[in-house]
Chains A and B, each alone.
Chain A
Amino acid sequence: MSAITSFDEFLNGLWKQNPIFVMVLGMCPTLAVTVSAVNAISMGLATTFVLGASCLLVSLLRNSIPKQVRIASYIVIIATFVTVVDYAIQAISLDLYVALGAYIKLIVANCVLLGRAEAHAAKNPPLPATTNAIGMGLGFTLGLFMIGCVREILGAGKLFGVSLFGDHFQPWVVMVLPPGGFFVLGFWLIVIAAFSHFSSKRNAQLKGVQL
């Protein structure tokens, strides 16, 4: 029983309550660092690590943190792990560090993190809290990746830095500019909304239920 529920917790964040496409949280990195697939994935994974680690710690400490100072305590915990990630990325790849810029430090202000800590980790034991957090983090990564792919393919004619259409490809400059982030995010929101609309219609038909 417990294994099934924790797997559900995991899937929940990945798709059903996807932080980007369903909850529409964490829009700042979503729009700012998704100009390429690599940037999107590394941002997503950094967030996933901070999310998992801080939710584990918050869940462990949930009974000893006084209610009045809980938000400040969560922020301190999150900021600790953000600092770790910040130095780690700087050590692994300076190029990536420069490309992501201030947005690594801004993970601390990402509402997905505080939202998870407050709404889930503070009320649940460590195992489900961490599973849920990692599911959410991977869902966030998936969302960033989906946006990053489209923006990199149209904006530079590349995917993961590999040229797809040869030298004569005409880049769509708008896709690497901020409006491109809004356009692609909106495009995916429409596609996903249409998808869930049609699948719920079909489910209703299969069950013979009048919507």
Chain B
Amino acid sequence: MSMELRTSPHQHSGRDVPTIMRNVVYAMLPICAFSVWQFGLSAAALILVVTASCLVAERINNLIRGTSSSLSDWSATITGVILALTLPPSFPLWMGAVSGFAAIWLGKSLFGGLGQNPFNPALVGRAFVQAAFPTAISTWVPAFSSQRFNEFIPTSLTAPFMTPPDIALWVKQQGIDAFTGATPLARWKFENITPSSMDFLTGHITASAGETSAILILLCGLYLAARKFLDWRIPVAVLGSAMLLAWVFHLAQPLRYPTPSFVLLSGGLMLGAWFMATDMATSPVTPRGIWLYGALIGILTVVIRYFGGLTEGVMYAILIANATASLLDQFNQPRILGGKRGKS
């Protein structure tokens, strides 16, 4: 009789990286579908091109390093989809491809691939194009234009390395008179006008491809949290701290600062809290570290929005918090069972 000696764990839940990643992609499909319904062909093409460029970048990296294909772990797909959802729908496709390559190479491959990256790759890609093409990334188009399924937004099909055309004429042809080309956050910041919460819930706003319907993002995120594919504490900490800080400001000066619900629903806070802050490789693992990390994102977002030069601060808030993740873990080690208080 032979006896096999094994160390724990003896039972595996069957969950591995590809399963988790695949389910996150599934959870994002409704958001993608809503984005396509809202912005038409351009949004669909943007999502496909950015995702494809991420996959190509990942494959090239495999070939250079001589490792087996890592496309099947779905992590490059997820980076591509998240990245596409944070870009404006009228973003030129070639710039989308640039951001995809930047995301995979600068954000992930350089650090050693999946699990080694200190920063969320999708946000690294977005930060790169934000710095490279500041005009294109802050050009917004109205949602639900009548011809959206028949024609591209003219800027989408800009030839590679060329400047996108001026979009004002096209917007006028859509029969929209009062389009300001500004996101709700920009309108609040520069004109002190806030749209109703209803518009945020139904997506009748100008915004990035995937951040328009807060309620849909919330549902998809809740699905992931319920199936334990993401840590529910992170979005709760992000949204809670942002809301609390916004509420304090609103109470102090109701005319100057918007309501907490505006802060929660506008911009990329919802999408960032559920899908970007929760990236497992870039968030802390200790319980107290997780709460602090989420709170840091929420506070930084509100501070950047209220006092910074930018209209939206979620991207930089998450990137800065990513940088602190390992420190937060180090300073918040839980007490070992039976260990003395105050000693780790």
Contact = CB atoms under 8 A, between A and B. Distances in A.
Interface stretch (B128-136, B245-253, B306-314): B128-136
Interface string B123-155: 000001001111010000000000000000000
B131 A179 contact: yes
A173 B163 contact: no
Interface residues of B, number: 15
Interface string A157-182: 10000000100111011110101000
Contacts of A157: 161
Interface string A89-131: 0000000000000000000000000000000000000000000
Nearest to A190: B110
Interface in A53-83: none
Contact of B132 (A168, A173, A194): A173
Contacts of A169: 161-163
A175 B131 CA distance: 9
Interface residues of A, number: 13
Contacts of A168: 159, 162-163
A18 to B, nearest CB: 22
B30 interface: no
Contact of B128 (A165, A174, A194): A174
Contacts of A175: 132
A177 B134 CA distance: 12
Contacts of B113: none
Contact of A174 (B64, B131, B163): B131
A173 B161 contact: no
B161 A165 contact: yes
A174 B132 contact: yes
B164 interface: yes
A46 to B, nearest CB: 30
Contacts of A194: 64
Nearest to A186: B110
Contacts of B162: 165, 168-170
B131 A173 contact: yes
Interface string A124-140: 00000000000000000
A107 to B, nearest CB: 29
B208 to A, nearest CB: 20
Contacts of B134: 173
A172 B163 contact: no
A157 B136 CA distance: 17
B106, B131, B159 pick with most chain A CB within 10 angstroms: B131
B123 to A, nearest CB: 15
Nearest to B98: A172
Contacts of A174: 128, 131-132
A197 to B, nearest CB: 11
Interface string B44-72: 00000000000000000000100000000
A192 to B, nearest CB: 15
A183 B132 CA distance: 12
B131 A170 contact: no
A172 B132 CA distance: 5
A177 B161 CA distance: 18
A183 B128 CA distance: 11
A194 B164 CA distance: 36
Nearest to A183: B106
A175 B136 CA distance: 16
A59 B64 CA distance: 46
Contacts of B159: 168
A174 B158 CA distance: 20
A168 B155 CA distance: 13
B133 A177 contact: no
What 6 pairs between A and B have smallest CB-CB spacing? Answer: A174-B131, A174-B132, A172-B132, A170-B163, A168-B162, A168-B163
Given A157-B161, A173-B131, A194-B64, 13 more contacts: A165-B161, A168-B159, A168-B163, A169-B161, A169-B163, A170-B133, A170-B136, A170-B158, A170-B164, A173-B134, A174-B132, A177-B131, A179-B131
17 contacts: A157-B161, A165-B161, A165-B162, A168-B162, A169-B161, A169-B162, A169-B163, A170-B95, A170-B133, A170-B136, A170-B158, A172-B132, A172-B133, A173-B133, A175-B132, A177-B131, A194-B64
